[in-house]
């Protein structure tokens, strides 16, 4: 049935579905960033924190923040295309 929907889905509907999916991914990534920031803060607040763990989490955080920026830019571009063409 999903294959049938794809066959009959208009390009605008497909782009709107992709935008909705992108918004969900952006929210998920944003939630993960907040969780990592909290975890890093907690670790730094401990006496004698494990710097290797903190460093690894900070690297992961930087990577997620970069991915989030790219996702937001892609979504913005897609939403512009939708608003201009649909």
Q: What pLDDT score was predicted for residue 6?
A: 56
- Residue 9's pLDDT band, with cuts at 50, 70 and 90, is confident
Give me the helices (H) in 1-86, please: 2-8, 11-44, 51-85
Query: What predicted TM-score, i.e. pTM, was given to this entire model?
Result: 0.80
Domain extent for 49 = 2-85
- Sorted by sequence, the CB contacts under 8 Å of residue 81 that are 6+ apart come out as 15
Cα 14 from Cα 11, distance rounded (Å): 5
Copy the structure tokens of residue 62.
């930087």
| Phi, psi torsion values for 23, nearest 5 degrees | -60, -40
Q: How many structural domains comprise the chain?
A: 1
- Residue 1's pLDDT band, with cuts at 50, 70 and 90, is very low
Q: What pLDDT score was predicted for residue 4?
A: 53
For residue 16, pLDDT over 70 is answered with yes
Per-residue pLDDT tens over the stretch 31-86? 999 999 999 999 999 999 999 999 999 999 999 999 999 999 999 999 999 999 99
């Amino acid at each position: 049935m999903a294959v049938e929907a794809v066959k009959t889905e208009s390009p605008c509907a497909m782009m709107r579905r992709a935008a909705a999916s992108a918004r969900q991914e952006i929210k998920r990534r944003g939630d993960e960033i907040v969780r990592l920031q909290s975890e890093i803060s907690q670790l730094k607040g401990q006496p004698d924190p494990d710097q290797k763990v903190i460093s690894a989490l900070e690297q992961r955080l930087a990577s997620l923040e970069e991915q989030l920026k790219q996702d937001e830019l892609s979504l913005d571009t897609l939403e512009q295309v939708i608003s201009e063409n649909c």
